Amino acid sequence: MPTNSGLPPSIIVSSHDLARLDAMLESPVHARSPAAVTLGDELNRAQIVAPDQVPAGTVTMHATVQCEDELTGDVHTLTLVYPHEANVDLGRVSVLAPVGTALLGLTIGQSIDWTAPGGRKLRLRVRQVDTPSLAGL
Protein backbone atom coordinates (compact mmCIF):
# COMPACT_ATOMS: atom_id res chain seq x y z
CA MET A 1 0.00 0.00 0.00
CA PRO A 2 1.48 3.36 -0.96
CA THR A 3 2.12 5.56 2.03
CA ASN A 4 3.87 8.73 3.00
CA SER A 5 5.03 8.89 6.61
CA GLY A 6 2.48 6.23 7.53
CA LEU A 7 -0.45 8.11 6.01
CA PRO A 8 -1.51 7.86 2.36
CA PRO A 9 -1.30 11.18 0.52
CA SER A 10 -4.58 12.78 -0.50
CA ILE A 11 -5.58 12.09 -4.10
CA ILE A 12 -7.86 13.70 -6.69
CA VAL A 13 -9.63 11.74 -9.44
CA SER A 14 -11.85 13.10 -12.21
CA SER A 15 -15.42 11.84 -12.44
CA HIS A 16 -14.61 10.72 -16.02
CA ASP A 17 -11.67 8.59 -14.87
CA LEU A 18 -13.71 7.25 -11.95
CA ALA A 19 -16.54 6.09 -14.24
CA ARG A 20 -14.14 4.28 -16.58
CA LEU A 21 -12.13 2.77 -13.73
CA ASP A 22 -15.27 1.60 -11.90
CA ALA A 23 -16.53 -0.08 -15.10
CA MET A 24 -13.15 -1.77 -15.54
CA LEU A 25 -13.13 -2.98 -11.93
CA GLU A 26 -16.63 -4.45 -12.32
CA SER A 27 -15.59 -6.54 -15.35
CA PRO A 28 -15.19 -10.29 -14.74
CA VAL A 29 -11.55 -10.04 -15.87
CA HIS A 30 -10.61 -7.77 -12.96
CA ALA A 31 -13.30 -8.30 -10.32
CA ARG A 32 -11.84 -9.41 -6.99
CA SER A 33 -8.22 -9.51 -8.12
CA PRO A 34 -5.87 -8.15 -5.43
CA ALA A 35 -4.82 -5.31 -7.74
CA ALA A 36 -8.44 -4.36 -8.39
CA VAL A 37 -9.24 -4.39 -4.66
CA THR A 38 -6.28 -2.09 -3.98
CA LEU A 39 -7.31 0.31 -6.76
CA GLY A 40 -10.91 0.26 -5.49
CA ASP A 41 -9.70 1.19 -2.01
CA GLU A 42 -7.73 4.12 -3.47
CA LEU A 43 -10.77 5.30 -5.46
CA ASN A 44 -12.97 5.09 -2.36
CA ARG A 45 -10.75 7.60 -0.53
CA ALA A 46 -10.25 9.94 -3.51
CA GLN A 47 -11.70 13.42 -3.84
CA ILE A 48 -13.81 13.24 -7.02
CA VAL A 49 -14.04 16.35 -9.20
CA ALA A 50 -15.37 17.21 -12.66
CA PRO A 51 -12.75 16.71 -15.40
CA ASP A 52 -12.42 20.46 -15.95
CA GLN A 53 -11.84 20.95 -12.21
CA VAL A 54 -8.81 18.66 -11.89
CA PRO A 55 -5.95 20.84 -10.65
CA ALA A 56 -2.98 21.27 -12.96
CA GLY A 57 -0.20 18.86 -12.11
CA THR A 58 -2.51 16.00 -11.06
CA VAL A 59 -1.83 12.46 -12.27
CA THR A 60 -4.85 11.36 -14.31
CA MET A 61 -5.38 8.47 -16.67
CA HIS A 62 -3.20 8.87 -19.79
CA ALA A 63 -1.04 11.49 -18.04
CA THR A 64 2.70 11.28 -18.58
CA VAL A 65 4.45 11.52 -15.24
CA GLN A 66 8.06 12.29 -14.42
CA CYS A 67 8.94 11.05 -10.96
CA GLU A 68 12.15 10.81 -8.99
CA ASP A 69 13.12 8.03 -6.64
CA GLU A 70 14.17 10.11 -3.64
CA LEU A 71 16.22 7.21 -2.28
CA THR A 72 18.43 6.79 -5.37
CA GLY A 73 17.93 9.95 -7.42
CA ASP A 74 16.76 7.89 -10.42
CA VAL A 75 14.23 9.70 -12.61
CA HIS A 76 11.46 7.75 -14.34
CA THR A 77 8.97 8.89 -16.97
CA LEU A 78 5.82 6.83 -17.48
CA THR A 79 2.32 7.17 -18.84
CA LEU A 80 -0.58 5.88 -16.71
CA VAL A 81 -2.87 3.70 -18.82
CA TYR A 82 -5.61 1.07 -18.66
CA PRO A 83 -4.39 -2.55 -18.49
CA HIS A 84 -5.00 -3.32 -22.18
CA GLU A 85 -2.81 -0.32 -23.15
CA ALA A 86 0.16 -1.22 -20.93
CA ASN A 87 3.57 -1.64 -22.54
CA VAL A 88 6.61 -1.48 -20.27
CA ASP A 89 8.97 -0.96 -23.23
CA LEU A 90 7.07 2.23 -24.13
CA GLY A 91 6.81 3.41 -20.50
CA ARG A 92 3.04 2.76 -20.45
CA VAL A 93 2.19 1.50 -16.95
CA SER A 94 -1.16 -0.06 -16.04
CA VAL A 95 -3.22 1.60 -13.36
CA LEU A 96 -3.49 -1.92 -11.88
CA ALA A 97 0.29 -2.17 -11.45
CA PRO A 98 1.33 -1.20 -7.93
CA VAL A 99 3.14 1.95 -9.10
CA GLY A 100 0.18 2.90 -11.34
CA THR A 101 -2.30 2.62 -8.48
CA ALA A 102 0.10 4.51 -6.22
CA LEU A 103 0.54 7.42 -8.64
CA LEU A 104 -3.12 7.91 -9.64
CA GLY A 105 -4.44 11.20 -8.26
CA LEU A 106 -1.15 12.50 -6.85
CA THR A 107 -0.03 16.04 -7.59
CA ILE A 108 3.37 17.56 -8.28
CA GLY A 109 5.49 17.49 -5.13
CA GLN A 110 3.70 14.58 -3.46
CA SER A 111 5.69 11.42 -2.66
CA ILE A 112 4.71 7.81 -2.18
CA ASP A 113 6.63 4.94 -0.63
CA TRP A 114 6.19 1.51 -2.14
CA THR A 115 7.97 -1.76 -2.62
CA ALA A 116 8.92 -2.74 -6.16
CA PRO A 117 8.79 -6.33 -7.38
CA GLY A 118 11.71 -8.11 -5.78
CA GLY A 119 11.38 -6.16 -2.53
CA ARG A 120 13.32 -3.00 -3.48
CA LYS A 121 12.06 0.07 -1.57
CA LEU A 122 11.21 3.20 -3.53
CA ARG A 123 10.10 6.71 -2.58
CA LEU A 124 8.72 8.33 -5.70
CA ARG A 125 8.12 12.08 -5.83
CA VAL A 126 6.03 13.48 -8.67
CA ARG A 127 8.14 16.09 -10.50
CA GLN A 128 6.12 16.83 -13.62
CA VAL A 129 2.74 15.83 -15.05
CA ASP A 130 1.64 16.24 -18.66
CA THR A 131 -2.08 15.58 -18.90
CA PRO A 132 -4.05 14.70 -22.02
CA SER A 133 -6.43 17.31 -23.37
CA LEU A 134 -10.11 16.94 -22.51
CA ALA A 135 -10.85 16.82 -26.25
CA GLY A 136 -8.97 13.53 -26.48
CA LEU A 137 -11.08 11.79 -23.84
Q: Please answer whether residues 65 and 103 qualify as being in contact, where contact means their C-beta atoms are separated by less than 8 angstroms.
A: yes
Predicted pLDDT at 3: 42
CB 91 within 8 A of CB 78: yes
Residue 80 has pLDDT above 70, yes or no: yes
Q: Which pTM was predicted?
A: 0.86
pLDDT, residue 119, reads 81
Residue 1 has pLDDT above 70, yes or no: no
| Top mean-pLDDT range of 7-16, 92-101, 112-121 | 92-101
Whether the per-residue pLDDT at 106 is higher than 70: the answer is: yes
Judge whether residue 50 has pLDDT over 60: yes
Q: Look at 134 and 128; give whichever has higher pLDDT.
A: 128
Once rounded to an integer, what is the mean pLDDT over residues 72-99? 94
- Whole-number Å distance between alpha carbons of 50 and 121: 34
Are 37 and 99 a contacting pair, CB within 8 Å?
no
